[in-house]
Amino acid sequence: MSYFKTAILLAGMTALFMGVGYLIGGSSGALIALAVAAATNVFAYWNSDKMVLSMYGAQEVDARSAPDLVRMVADLAGNAQLPMPKVYIMDNPQPNAFATGRNPENAAVAVTTGLMQSLSREELAGVIAHELAHVKNHDTLLMTITATIAGAISMLAQFGMFFGGGNREGENNNGGLGIIGSILMMILAPFAAMLVQMAISRSREYAADDLGARICGQPAWLASALAKIENAAHQVPNYEAERAPATAHMFIINPLTGQGMDNLFATHPSTQNRIAALQQLAAKLGIRPPQPAAAPARRGLWGGRGPWG
């Protein structure tokens, strides 16, 4: 997604924020909402990674506490020409992962214990490459700020409905908006913010799948991982994500529910569509899927010289 489109989307969400503020408090409310939106963006820029990692109880690991995982991340980051991100593990049985951070120099990759236990080394490499692709594409900052503003719009709209949704300046000359129009705005504003958030999320997942497959060098690894994670997401609950559904879009697969089709209300594209796109990429690049019978049992992903060699 281009920076221009990103700026337009964020500007639209800020305008929604101001619109709700206007309905609550008139011109003064709009100005206050603009100030709050700016402060929210600044706060999210500097602290979003710490907030999300803390929310999921993620623990940072290093070459001594998780040597294989850290070595794999380092090798893949080198392939992607990225600085080495911090590596975190979340004690969660659901296989999943996400990346966060305001830029590649301050990025972090977090994986669950369930992911490490249920995937092969090749599949794990595909997932990590996908998350590094988000870092390289600067998705992590965009999605966190978008989620923060969307959440703030919803909270402000609920506040407005609680206090009646009217503004004193315009209650007699608001062009027919009135209390009914105000209530509709209170409902539609967070809904519109949600649609923008989800639209960004779906587009970024396809881009990260494509780049991630190129980083690890084998689209089939990521495709296989997506299928396994999607299946587990239906069976293994992620209670932290259930308590904070606004962060669901950050994961490689929706940790709340699986999605059966691409639609306007899905935080992630259809997993089947993502796998099909990866298969098309492999065909385009002339990469044949690996044959399990020919794969050595305990060799590194790059002929014994990689992170597991």
Q: Which of 163, 157, 168, 187 is nearest to 25 (CA)?
A: 168
Own/partner pairs, 255-263, CB within 8 angstroms, 24+ separation: 255/94, 255/96, 257/233, 258/230, 258/233, 258/234, 262/202
pLDDT at 3 over 70: no
Binding site listing for Zn(2+): 130, 134, 205
Query: Is 131 annotated in the active site?
Result: yes
Helices (H), the chain: 3-55, 67-79, 113-118, 121-136, 139-162, 178-216, 219-233, 239-243, 271-285
Residue, of 106 and 163, whose pLDDT is higher: 106
Percent of the chain with pLDDT over 70: 69
Model pLDDT for residues 161-202, shown as the tens digit of each residue: 555 544 444 444 444 445 665 566 666 666 666 666 666 677
In tens, the pLDDT along 87-101 reads 999 999 999 999 999
Domain layout of the chain by residue ranges: 3-289
Confidence of residue 78 (pLDDT cuts 50, 70, 90): very high
Q: What residues form the annotated binding site? A: 130, 134, 205
Local confidence band at 140 (pLDDT 50, 70, 90 cut-offs): confident
pLDDT at 37: 76
Predicted confidence at residue 297, as pLDDT, reads: 41
DSSP 305: S
The residue from 131, 169, 171, 240 that is catalytic is 131
When the pLDDT of each residue in the chain is averaged and rounded to a whole number, the result is: 80
